[in-house]
Structure 1
Amino acid sequence: MGEKIHAGGCLCGAIRFEARGVAERPHTCSCRFCQRHTGAPTAAWVEFPAERLAWTGSGGRPATWRSSAYSSRAFCPACGSSIGAIDDEPVVALLIGGFDDPADPVLAPQYHSFEDCRPGWLRVGTASGEE
């Protein structure tokens, strides 16, 4: 049996992806970049090495906007859906909500980053029990 495929995509379906193998660093983040990128107070992410990711939809690779010295935010140019972040390392961080099965236990966030930016009224749980 081969590596597990984690598939997903944008709202309109033009941008689709398949990530192979083990999901790395599943986490939530409340930094201002994530908040503005997603429009939500917290984003849920998972990372894959770029060589284990294929862009499979008719739209090809997502559009990007350079958000920092080391990363670009990825989005669908047709529907505007946030897809994730393409880092220079070559790591691609994908938003968990874009997966076809966001409830897959291997995607469950293990920790929360930039808690200091999280609004005080929001509680964020992780698989490790952190808030």
Structure 2
Amino acid sequence: MQLKVHGGGCLCGWIRFEAEGNPEKPHTCSCGMCRRHTGAPTAAWVEYPRDRVRWVGPGGPPSTFRSSDYSSRAFCSRCGSSIGAIDDEPTVALLVGGMDEINDRALAPEYHSFEDALPEWWSAQDACRNAG
């Protein structure tokens, strides 16, 4: 049985990825790092083991910025689009907004991280309608 491949990439198409299989830990997050990385009050993420993500665009792997003692934020050096995060452990977290097939239910967030950091005008229910 062939695993589903989730494709996606940046705004200009220089950075493209293919992530094989169902994602792990689909969630939203409102921590300060995620807000600043995306420019949004909350970010939607999915995670994959590093060996299941291939960088297939002409730009190869994304550029990175070391954002913490365990992770680097990934972005396109041409258009500036946020791609995700590449952790020291063998994990690649991809931003759901960059996925080609945004309506795939496997991408639906299951929980919300840092709910206490949401702006007062934004509810966790709005940020993660599918939380269980």
TM-score after normalising by structure 2: 0.95
Query: Partners in 2 of 1:117 and 1:92 — Cα distance?
Result: 23
Aligned residue number for residue 56 of structure 1: 56
Q: Quick check: 1:128 aligned with 2:131? A: yes
Aligned residues: 129
Deviations 1:69-124 (A, max 9, x none): 00000000000000000000010000000000112110000000001111110122
Question: Which segments of 5 or more consecutive residues in structure 2 lack a partner in the other structure?
Answer: none
Report 1:1-131 matches (<5 A): 1-123=1-123, 124-128=127-131
Question: Which segments of 5 or more consecutive residues in structure 1 lack a partner in the other structure?
Answer: none
TM-score after normalising by structure 1: 0.96
1:128, distance to aligned residue in structure 2 (A): 2.6
* Runs of 4+ with deviation above 6 angstroms: none
RMSD: 0.8
Deviations 1:10-40 (A, max 9, x none): 0000000000012100000000000000000
Query: Partners in 2 of 1:128 and 1:42 — Cα distance?
Result: 14
CA contact (8 A) 1:111 1:126 kept: no
1:48, distance to aligned residue in structure 2 (A): 0.2
